[in-house]
């Protein structure tokens, strides 16, 4: 079923249990080649999520700001985007080009993500596609201005959200997890993958 939350289309149950388990394996392969790190913010704090990336570009945050980089902070190029994630992009993105970046966020029980816009990409005609794995997360969606009215939806393991069109620059964030809601990850927590065209 597709649910519209403030213009973001959430495809509930887009991945079955087998596809979710296989994608977790593919994410593990990425993390072995490009270890998770906890990004610093411009103000010197640390984000509560741990991150890494796959694809031509990875998303980085540090004291210098937010940007895309061709290499992991440790030096090597990012590993390839997991095949299942690319398949999902082809199914739901509505565009003919392939994604250039797959940001992988890992949330432990206490992690959250503040309200933000995704605007480090060159072409906002290109959607952002997000895949959720593991514990449910409360996803909050506002409008294109900070501080406006918001709506919330629980994102569950196997859900795919597409942020495109009018909603491409809407503010959004993760308020909290519902710990223990999924058995996909042996130690609990949540993985979110976001796919993007960068240049």
- The SS3 call for residue 27 is helix
Residues 160-199 that bind ligand MD6 (CB under 6 A): 161, 163, 172, 174, 192, 194
Distance of CA 191 to the CA centre of its chain: 8
Q: Which two tokens stand for residue 88?
A: 């999902």
The span from the CA of 54 to the CA of 33, in Å, is 10
Place of tokens 């959720």: 132
Residues 75-104 that bind ligand MD6 (CB under 6 A): none
Does 130 interact with ligand MD6 (rule: CB under 6 A)?
yes
Nearest approach, Cβ of residue 130 and ligand MD6 (Å): 3
Nearest approach, Cβ of residue 194 and ligand MD6 (Å): 5
Does 136 interact with ligand MD6 (rule: CB under 6 A)?
no
Cα angle value 122/126/129 (rounded, 5°):
115
- Interaction partner, residue 161 (Fe ion, ligand MD6, none; CB < 5-8 Å by kind): ligand MD6
Does 128 interact with ligand MD6 (rule: CB under 6 A)?
yes
- The SS3 call for residue 147 is coil
DSSP assigned state of 37: B
Q: Which two tokens stand for residue 177?
A: 């997890």
- Interaction partner, residue 52 (Fe ion, ligand MD6, none; CB < 5-8 Å by kind): none
Place of tokens 């997890």: 177
Does 118 interact with ligand MD6 (rule: CB under 6 A)?
yes
Q: Which residues bind Fe ion (CB under 5 A)?
A: 118
Residues near ligand MD6 (CB under 6 A): 105, 113, 118, 128, 130, 139, 161, 163, 172, 174, 192, 194
């Amino acid at each position: 079923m597709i649910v519209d939350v403030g213009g973001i289309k959430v495809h509930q149950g887009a991945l079955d249990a087998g596809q979710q388990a296989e994608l977790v394996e593919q994410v593990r392969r990425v993390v072995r080649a490009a270890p998770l790190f906890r990004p610093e913010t411009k103000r010197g704090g640390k984000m509560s999520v741990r991150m890494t990336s796959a694809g031509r570009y990875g998303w980085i945050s540090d004291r210098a700001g937010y940007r895309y980089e061709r290499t992991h902070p440790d030096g090597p190029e990012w590993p390839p985007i997991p095949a299942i994630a690319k398949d999902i992009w082809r199914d739901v993105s509505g565009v003919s080009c392939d994604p250039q970046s797959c940001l992988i966020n890992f949330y432990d029980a206490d992690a959250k993500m503040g309200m933000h816009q995704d605007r480090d990409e060159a072409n906002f005609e290109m959607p952002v596609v997000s895949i959720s794995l593991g514990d449910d997360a409360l996803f909050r969606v506002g409008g294109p201005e900070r501080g406006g009215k918001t709506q919330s939806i629980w994102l569950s393991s196997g859900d795919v959200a597409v942020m495109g069109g009018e909603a491409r620059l809407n503010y959004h964030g993760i308020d909290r997890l519902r710990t223990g809601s999924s058995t996909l990850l042996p130690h609990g927590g949540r993985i979110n993958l976001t796919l993007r065209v960068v240049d």
